[in-house]
Amino acid sequence: MDTIDRRLLDQIQRSFPIEERPYAVLADRLGLREEDVLSRIGTLKARRLVRQISAIFNTGALGYQSSLVAMAVPEPVVERAAEVVSAYPGVSHNYLRPATFNLWFTIAVPPGKRLNQVVAHLSRKAGEWPTLILPAVKKYKLAVVLDVLEDAEADTVSNESSAISLEGTQGFQVCEQTIRLVRCLQEDLPLESRPFHTLAKDLTMGGDNLMGLIRQWLARQWIRRFAAVLNHRQVGFGGNGMVVWRCEPSRIDDAGTVLAAFPEVSHCYQRPAHPQWPYNLYAMIHGKTEDDCRRIAARLAQAVDIGEYRILFSTREFKKVRLKLFWNEP
């Protein structure tokens, strides 16, 4: 990647323009032509640096229940258990990590379903192994914006904050029309001059109306961001670890706030502790290598003054996809 590619990646993963000709807007920001931006994004997608550009929905505000789940599976049958878990369409990520609870997956269940019941069903099918449901009790940070810029390039881009609200709002009505909209907006945006007008034709509505609706849903926090999702490893972040701390409950809010301020942290949550898994503060960190992540984790631990922590690196990736909402509703 050259400097322009890095600046472009930084722009589109923070906030993609909801405009009639968004790629022209990006071109103006970067001193390029619209066709140059279209070409560069096409190349970045072909090289798998950009996974897709789309709406990133607040699943809780849309009526979904979601959680991180950990399962303790004997090594000889991990493959079979992972296959069962990954088959459920609400599972977007499923990894093997070195711990007693070694199969870690994220799951979302649609309105009308109960998360505990779905997880119990998957557990039975996988072999009835010990399972922990670890929902987010409190969210301190949820914004995957990777720092792809070199130090000398940082001053050449907008200082617009990438912070997002972490709490959902009420009022989303699940109906045929809203389901059609969600299904459309969660797909990759067309790589053409007026992409929102193309989407609008498929939805039998006007392009200006669709852009207005997207802005409205962003304001109501039904859409967290409209942005690009990058492939961590392809853009140079080969080290990605889940760090878990055992934190005194009275200190957890302060510690979570401190961790969320670090740019290397993309996600930070409080989750329930269990006797067999006493960790209650989680942060996803991203570095160039695993050793880089270890150094980052040590700095984080020092910043929050908590010595009891573990870094869980993924040793196998069974599933990693964008969650597709309303997969079986009419």
DSSP states of 125-171 as a string?
A: HHT---EEEE--SEEEEE------S-GGGGGGS---------S--S-
Assign domain 65-143+234-320 to its CATH architecture: 2-Layer Sandwich (3.30)
- List residues with catalytic annotation: 93
Distances (CA, A) of 258 to 59, 159, 184, 193: 26, 21, 37, 42
pLDDT tens over the chain, length 330 residues: 788 998 999 899 888 999 999 999 999 999 999 999 999 999 999 999 998 999 999 999 999 999 999 999 999 999 999 999 999 999 999 999 999 999 999 999 999 899 999 999 999 999 999 999 999 999 998 866 655 444 333 333 333 333 344 444 568 998 999 999 999 999 999 999 999 999 999 999 999 999 999 999 999 999 999 999 887 666 555 678 999 999 999 999 999 999 999 988 989 999 999 999 999 999 999 888 999 999 999 999 999 999 999 999 999 999 988 899 998 743
Residue 271, helix vs strand vs coil: coil
Domain ranges (residues) in the chain:
65-143+234-320
Distances (CA, A) of 198 to 8, 211, 226: 23, 12, 17
Residue 54, helix vs strand vs coil: strand
Distances (CA, A) of 218 to 12, 19, 89, 185: 16, 14, 25, 12
The answer to whether residues 304 and 245 touch, using CB atoms and an 8 Å cutoff, is: yes
Give Cα 153 to chain centroid, integer Å: 25
How many CB atoms sit inside 10 A of residue 163's CB?
A: 10
Distance CA 43, CA 62 (A): 33
The answer to whether residues 307 and 301 touch, using CB atoms and an 8 Å cutoff, is: yes
Q: What is the mean pLDDT of the chain?
A: 89
- Asked whether the whole model's pTM tops 0.75, one would answer yes
